[in-house]
Amino acid sequence: MKIGFIGLGLMGRPMAANLRKAGFALLVSDVRPEAAKELLEAGCRWSDDPAGESDILFTSLPGPKEVEAVSVQILASAKPGAAWFDLSTNSPVVVRRLHARCASKGVQLLDAPVSGGPGGAQSGRLALWVGGDRPTYERCLPVLKAIGDEPFYVGAIGAGTVAKLVHNASSFMVQAALAETFTLGVKAGVEPLALFKALRQGATGRARTFDRLAEKFLPGSYDPAGFALRLAHKDVTLALELAQACRVPMRAGEHALAELSEAIARGWGERDCRVAMELQAERAGVSVRVPREQLKEII
Ligand code: NAD
């Protein structure tokens, strides 16, 4: 079985190296030939057209534009029956469009964006969120496991990309919120190291970032309250008063308080504070529900 790898950047190079270490015959390519140097020394072979020779092809490219550009050659030369995993963080629209084009040539495109950074790509501690044909995913699992320890089939084509975009948007929204609250704490006079230690000790600090979704929001149960909405509203109000006194702008904080205020106005003050998340579900026109029993299987 031959494996092709196009895109040998910060992520692609270590992922390709791990495939080689696992013993797979690997054809590599990049617009920057020098990016392949170490891989060629490790026994990979250079190819100007890896798609033409590969049973399984990987791409790890900057974004939609580069994937579309590379797809022209892939569509022209890939073998019918071949599988193409796009490891790039791409657009679901582009992924689905290319999937349809590939299908007409007998090639299965699966989206498989990764999470774990260059360190994870090197150590293999890497999540791969896969969307597309399930039998192809299962057939290629041994190869995917050489890249990352946590391949996960998310759903139909594009589902992996949606999961990745939701993950990264969450990360950067949390990052913006932490920048706000942390600068507030430091400007209000607490030593950064002490503040960091204190934050890690709190309820949110001890949880994995997304695990708290499973407590109330996913099962959709807000009564009785674990922490009442009226108390959360009081705490954020106090924090914003402190911010005003310290002249620290709190854009995310003001947004959070507006959500809590609207939920209070609904008469939900005695319910669990996370009931405010239902306002967004309402605006988005979607119901988000996972039965507790199913959550127990994951957590
Ligand atoms: P990178 O810019 O380091 O690597 C991209 C590689 O693609 C480069 O080597 C570049 O020369 C090559 N390339 C560009 N256009 C090409 C073309 N037309 N044909 C062949 N090769 C081409 O980027 P990266 O950090 O390795 O990220 C790759 C993908 O993984 C991106 O979609 C990124 O969003 C995603 N990602 C990155 C990280 C991270 O921490 N760096 C983490 C998870 C996911």
Domain ranges for the chain: 2-156, 162-296
9 Cβ below 6 A of ligand 1? yes
96 pLDDT tier (thresholds 50, 70, 90): very high
What pLDDT digit, counting tens, does each position of 22-57 carry? 999 999 999 999 999 999 999 999 999 999 999 999
Q: Which amino acid is at 203?
A: A
CATH number of 162-296: 1.10.1040.10
6 Cβ below 6 A of ligand 1? yes
What's the CA gap between 273 and 293, in Å, rounded? 23
What is the 3 state secondary structure string of the chain?
A: CEEEEECCCCCHHHHHHHHHHCCCEEEEECCCHHHHHHHHHCCCEECCCHHHHCCEEEECCCCHHHHHHHHHHHHHHCCCCCEEEECCCCCHHHHHHHHHHHHCCCCEEEECCEECHHHHHHHCCCEEEEECCHHHHHHHHHHHHHHCCEEEEEECCCHHHHHHHHHHHHHHHHHHHHHHHHHHHHHCCCCHHHHHHHHHHCHHHHCCCCHHHHCCCCCCCCCCCCCEHHHHHHHHHHHHHHHHHHCCCCHHHHHHHHHHHHHHHCCCCCCEHHHHHHHHHHHHCCCCCCCHHHHHHHC
285 pLDDT tier (thresholds 50, 70, 90): very high
Catalytic residues: 164
Q: Ligand 1 pocket test: which of 57, 61, 91 has the largest number of ligand atoms within 8 Å of its C-beta? A: 61
The residue whose C-alpha atom lies closest to atom 42 belonging to ligand 1 is 117
The residue whose C-alpha atom lies closest to atom 9 belonging to ligand 1 is 9
What pLDDT digit, counting tens, does each position of 50-87 carry? 999 999 999 999 999 999 999 999 999 999 999 999 99
Can you tell me the mean pLDDT for 245-273? 97
125 pLDDT tier (thresholds 50, 70, 90): very high
pLDDT at 85: 98
pLDDT at 115: 97
Q: Ligand 1 pocket test: which of 5, 10, 57, 129 has the largest number of ligand atoms within 8 Å of its C-beta? A: 10
Q: Which long-range contacts (CB under 8 A, 24 or more apart) does 183-191 make?
A: 183/248, 184/239, 184/242, 184/243, 184/246, 184/248, 184/250, 187/246, 187/247, 187/248, 188/242, 188/246, 188/248
100 pLDDT tier (thresholds 50, 70, 90): very high
pLDDT at 155: 98
Can you tell me the mean pLDDT for 260-276? 98
Can you tell me the mean pLDDT for 222-231? 96
The residue whose C-alpha atom lies closest to atom 18 belonging to ligand 1 is 66
66 Cβ below 6 A of ligand 1? yes
What pLDDT digit, counting tens, does each position of 203-220 carry? 999 999 999 999 999 999
What pLDDT digit, counting tens, does each position of 152-201 carry? 999 999 999 999 999 999 999 999 999 999 999 999 999 999 999 999 99
Can you tell me the mean pLDDT for 9-21? 98
Same fold, 2-156 and 162-296: no
- Calculate the average pLDDT of the chain: 97
CATH number of 2-156: 3.40.50.720
pLDDT at 191: 97
The residue whose C-alpha atom lies closest to atom 14 belonging to ligand 1 is 61
pLDDT at 216: 96
pLDDT at 13: 98
Residue 10 CA to ligand 1 center (angstroms) comes to 7
Residue 6 CA to ligand 1 center (angstroms) comes to 10
The percent of residues in the chain predicted with pLDDT above 90, rounded, is 100
